[in-house]
Amino acid sequence: MQTEISRRRFLQGTAALTVVSVSSAAALLIKKEKKHAIAEYGLEKTKWSEHLEEIPTLCEMCVNKCAAIARVEEGVVTKLNPNPLFPKSKNMLCARGNAGIQALYDPDRLKYPLIRVGKRGEGRFKRVTWDEAYEHIKEKMVKILDEEKDNRSTIGFCAGEGMAEHTYASFMKEKIGSSNFVNHSSICLATTIAGYTLTLGGYGQADLENAEYVIMAGANRAEAIVTPDTMDIFKRTRAGGAKLVVIDPRFTNTAAHADTWLPIEVGTDLAFVLALSYVVITEERYNKRFTQENMSDFEAYKKHIIDHHYTPEWAEKITGIKAAEIYKIARDFMAHAPRSIYYQGRRTAWSQQDYQLRRAQAIFTAMGGGIDQKGGIIFGKKLPLGEHAINSPSYDNAKERIEKNKAAVIGASGSWLAWRNTVIDGTAPYPVRAFFAYKQNPMLSVPNTKKTKEMLQKMDLVVVIDTMPSDTVMMADVILPESLYLEREDPVKTFGGAEPSIALRKKVVEAKYDTKPVIEIMRGLGEKLSKPLFEISKKYDEALLEEIAERGEKVVYKEEGYDLAEGYRHSQETINHHQVASVYGEEAWKILREKGVFYPDMDRYFKQKSVNEYQYYPEHKKYYSVIEGDLINEPYHDTCVDTEEIAVLKKDFRTATKKIACALYNLEKKKGVDAMPTWREELYTPTPKGKFKFITGRHAQFTQSGTANNALLLDLLPQNHLWINKHIAEEKGIGLGDSVEVTSSIGTIEITAYPTEKIAENVVFFIHGFGAESSELTLAHHRGANDNLIIEDQYEKTFGSAAMHETIVEIRRV
């Protein structure tokens, strides 16, 4: 590829090497006017200041919640620096974290409440007061709930991940009373969370600080940053103590750090893991003591793997990975065990067989004994917080979720695809007539954008809470603008792991516009809706009427939680204070507010080790092994999933043996889900000759559609491009920067091509999150392509998780 045009010929002369920067190749591709638009945003140099405030907070530019210190000059945030005190983010702030300033001062932000005046989706709104917005919502909801005879589940709601997600979801679920919640889980990590939790008793955390051998399949920690995983592993790759095997049809920045990179046929990872297991079982390389003492039905699993002849030779034909490589990896993995990890992965909404893949990975890791062990998958400890209880009324007429039977196990956060499709295909047992969205942009984030639009068009009321005029916001009837993360205090959060801590997102600056944090929006809505909705319940809810007859209306209203604003009336700061001080005392609360981070003995344990690195806990105080007696445990590291959800999974399905579960017979008996991971040819989508499988993914300078309008990040990554194998591109006459059409069974998009050696011949890829339609997003509008216009709405049938890598596409130069 000869695309370098920069006048700066970096390193030229030191060695005979050609420096070709992907970013400059990308820059070449971007239309000039777009680039110019970014330049106009400009940045100002930070100045020396006598009156500098440094306020600790937590980042919200992605899901990681890294600790930052905001440099504030006269009420203006001029720089965001890493806060070294936080064990999870380990003194770093990535490009997106730095770009929080552009998010805060983005001129396109939602600035005040709006009500739609034109047709839905037309983009015409009028400015209103908060009370007018609430009043509008009230009128619609009263009408809908009256007509639906108080079936609260007629109000669907969704949420993206965030520290205030629970505040919003608890209001909608517990107070309003709807069961129809969908969140990011089923378009993200539902299958891996479920697979590991059902197998090991928890998703855990890969101890990449101490692992010696790591298989990362599909996971791309150099570009899809997860803290502390990203920092931990890449300080140790390239002969730094951790061997890294990357399995991916693309040569990613993670692969660039690998000892071995093996491209795999998309959708065949399960066959790969089963073959690794076959080698280990037939050669008896597993940890005999560990498997005997801690794994249930291991003998049955051995027989299962052997009887199915999951040999490396069998897997080679399916995966495209040479049998010899599979033998070697299996042996090397076990040679390093228990400090060997088959990395769990995160956004695992890939294929129809994804849940069983995660089960097989978990069992494979366990065969080496690397569970609840330093250098393996650990569960760590979580520091408890005081309670903040919400009194939930019970609504007799609220019905079960509409998509309950569309997959074997639909949890409390639903299946986005099954749910949405049920709304529109006429199979719902009752109509869903209103939709609330918080911090999620399903128009871009959920496969098959057309159907999401159709779903929203069916609603009698669409309310969206967000900070930016996303494509979903443009479909709203009522827009409630949320304050940006730097303008609000969020619920205090505890972060589990080997080095647990509590961290706080504190308000850094006053809200610039007429916006509110979620807790205040819930309070406002609650105050507006409580009485009128209670009247509806009184009309239809016989159980309520009996209660009233017995105890009197006033008492029931108060004691049974019908005051919907109750639980949201205190300020977030007051609630946080209670949750921290009630457990750790006033001094801990003071430290947390001052420093942004607290954990017991922080003052003694926290030490600077070098100019860049810190000690959080002394080695012997870290919580590597926490399980005593059994393997079902509570501490749970992940920050992106509702812990209640996991509790539900565990309660229903954990094995009686309390051991690592090789077989889940109950799930098979009750729900027809294979008890042990089994390759199902009928669930595999082969790629026809001349066509491609489409895969999507993340990028280190772009967090899905949430950062699509960020000037600084677009400066680094102006748009997405279609990765296509160079030789295939040549055959098709497609050159760098050429416009190509990508067509699947559901739609067509146009995008510029990036021919490269770094992708398999039958696969094409582009980054998710670009291609906004919203004309209110000056920079994001029509920039790049939206993958969900072409990704089919397939979902796997165990948890209803999206299967985003099952779509076959054709490519045509335009």
- Pick the binder of other proteins from 87, 162, 177, 263 (CB under 8 A): 263
Residues β-bridged to residue 213: 243, 340
- Pick the binder of other proteins from 58, 92, 367, 478 (CB under 8 A): 92
The least CB distance from residue 332 to other proteins, in Å, is 16
List the x/- string, 44-83, binding to other proteins by CB under 8 A: xxxxxx--x-------------------------xxxxx-
- Are the CB atoms for 264 and 319 separated by under 8 Å? yes
- Residue 222 or residue 486: which is nearer to other proteins going by CB? 222
324 touches other proteins (CB under 8 A): no
The least CB distance from residue 343 to other proteins, in Å, is 16
389 touches other proteins (CB under 8 A): no
- Residue 84 or residue 447: which is nearer to other proteins going by CB? 84
The Cα–Cα gap between 471 and 453 comes to: 10
- Pick the binder of other proteins from 72, 94, 133, 734 (CB under 8 A): 94
The Cα–Cα gap between 655 and 619 comes to: 33
- Pick the binder of other proteins from 115, 128, 256, 545 (CB under 8 A): 256
The Cα–Cα gap between 807 and 788 comes to: 11
- Pick the binder of other proteins from 176, 270, 533, 760 (CB under 8 A): 760
223 touches other proteins (CB under 8 A): yes
Q: Find the binding residues for other proteins in span 183-222 (CB under 8 A).
A: 222
The least CB distance from residue 725 to other proteins, in Å, is 6
- Are the CB atoms for 416 and 398 separated by under 8 Å? no
Cβ neighbourhood burial of 79 (10 Å; 0-12, 13-18, 19+):
middle
Strands (DSSP E) found in 611-687: 614-615, 660-661
Which residue's structure tokens are 């199979």?
Answer: 427
- Residue 19 or residue 543: which is nearer to other proteins going by CB? 19
- Residue 101 or residue 518: which is nearer to other proteins going by CB? 101
- Sign, CA dihedral 373-378-379-383, equals positive
261 touches other proteins (CB under 8 A): yes
The least CB distance from residue 595 to other proteins, in Å, is 17
DSSP code per residue over 46-65: ----SSEEEEEEE--SSSS-
The least CB distance from residue 32 to other proteins, in Å, is 10
3-state SS assignment for residue 295: strand
393: tokens are 């009324």
- Are the CB atoms for 377 and 699 separated by under 8 Å? no
- Pick the binder of other proteins from 514, 527, 573, 761 (CB under 8 A): 761
Residues β-bridged to residue 272: none
- Pick the binder of other proteins from 67, 86, 98, 497 (CB under 8 A): 98
43 touches other proteins (CB under 8 A): yes
The Cα–Cα gap between 464 and 459 comes to: 13
Of 169, 164, 296, 273, give the one whose Cα is nearest residue 218: 273
Q: Find the binding residues for other proteins in span 699-738 (CB under 8 A).
A: 700-701, 711-713, 715-716, 725-727
35 touches other proteins (CB under 8 A): yes
- Residue 190 or residue 226: which is nearer to other proteins going by CB? 226
The Cα–Cα gap between 793 and 804 comes to: 8
726 backbone dihedrals φ, ψ, rounded to 5°: -60, -40
The least CB distance from residue 726 to other proteins, in Å, is 8
The Cα–Cα gap between 462 and 476 comes to: 5
Name the one range near other proteins by CB under 8 A: 38-46, 135-143, 328-336, 664-672. Answer: 38-46
- Sign, CA dihedral 379-61-477-138, equals positive
257 touches other proteins (CB under 8 A): yes
274 touches other proteins (CB under 8 A): no
174 touches other proteins (CB under 8 A): no
Name the one range near other proteins by CB under 8 A: 192-200, 254-262, 461-469, 655-663. Answer: 254-262
| C-alpha 305 chain-centroid distance | 32
Of 561, 509, 263, give the one whose Cα is nearest residue 394: 561
The least CB distance from residue 13 to other proteins, in Å, is 5
Q: Find the binding residues for other proteins in span 507-566 (CB under 8 A).
A: none
- Residue 79 or residue 650: which is nearer to other proteins going by CB? 79
DSSP code per residue over 586-630: HHHHHHHHHHSEE-TTHHHH-EE-SSS-EESS-GGGS-S----S-
Give yes or no for a cis peptide into 338 (omega within 30° of 0). Answer: yes
- How many residues line the site for other proteins (CB under 8 A)? 87
List the x/- string, 611-650, binding to other proteins by CB under 8 A: xxx-------------------------------------
- Are the CB atoms for 725 and 759 separated by under 8 Å? yes
The least CB distance from residue 619 to other proteins, in Å, is 19
- Residue 35 or residue 680: which is nearer to other proteins going by CB? 35
- Residue 82 or residue 411: which is nearer to other proteins going by CB? 82
10 touches other proteins (CB under 8 A): yes
Of 683, 680, 632, 797, give the one whose Cα is nearest residue 196: 632
- Pick the binder of other proteins from 318, 417, 461, 759 (CB under 8 A): 759
Q: Find the binding residues for other proteins in span 584-613 (CB under 8 A).
A: 610-613
803 Cβ neighbours under 8 A, 6+ residues apart: 349, 350, 351, 352, 354, 794, 795, 796
99 touches other proteins (CB under 8 A): yes
Q: Find the binding residues for other proteins in span 227-246 (CB under 8 A).
A: 227, 230-231, 234-235, 238, 240
- Are the CB atoms for 305 and 251 separated by under 8 Å? no
- Residue 164 or residue 231: which is nearer to other proteins going by CB? 231
- Are the CB atoms for 306 and 280 separated by under 8 Å? no
- Residue 200 or residue 712: which is nearer to other proteins going by CB? 712
581: tokens are 């001080």
629: left (phi over 0), alpha (psi -120 to 50) or beta: left
The least CB distance from residue 220 to other proteins, in Å, is 10
Length of the chain: 814
The Cα–Cα gap between 28 and 216 comes to: 32
Give yes or no for a cis peptide into 618 (omega within 30° of 0). Answer: no
- Residue 32 or residue 689: which is nearer to other proteins going by CB? 32
Name the one range near other proteins by CB under 8 A: 22-30, 165-173, 582-590, 656-664. Answer: 22-30
